[in-house]
Amino acid sequence: MSNELLFLIEILTGAVIGMVGWYAKGIKDEQLETRKELTNVQINYVHKEELKQFRTEIIDLLKEVRQDIKELKDK
């Protein structure tokens, strides 16, 4: 093979390797962003569940207070 043909093959090989690396970096960046978004969703879900539990506890306490007031009024 001529030197020009070998040089052209080396340039094309380097270009393909560069394109694959660029593509892989893009996929890695997207994966990191997706992981961050998933973490935020998980955190929001945990906070929602904690708020639901807190709300339920407050409602139960209010029911107890109302019952106590009712009992005091009946005495």
pLDDT tens digits, one per residue of 17-46: 999 988 888 898 999 999 999 898 888 888
Q: How far apart are CA 16 and CA 64, in angstroms?
A: 72
Give 57's pLDDT tier (boundaries 50, 70, 90): very high
Q: Indicate the pTM of the whole model.
A: 0.50
What is the token pair recorded at 58?
A: 């407050």
Which residues, including other chains, have CB under 8 Å from residue 24's CB and lie 6 or more apart?
none
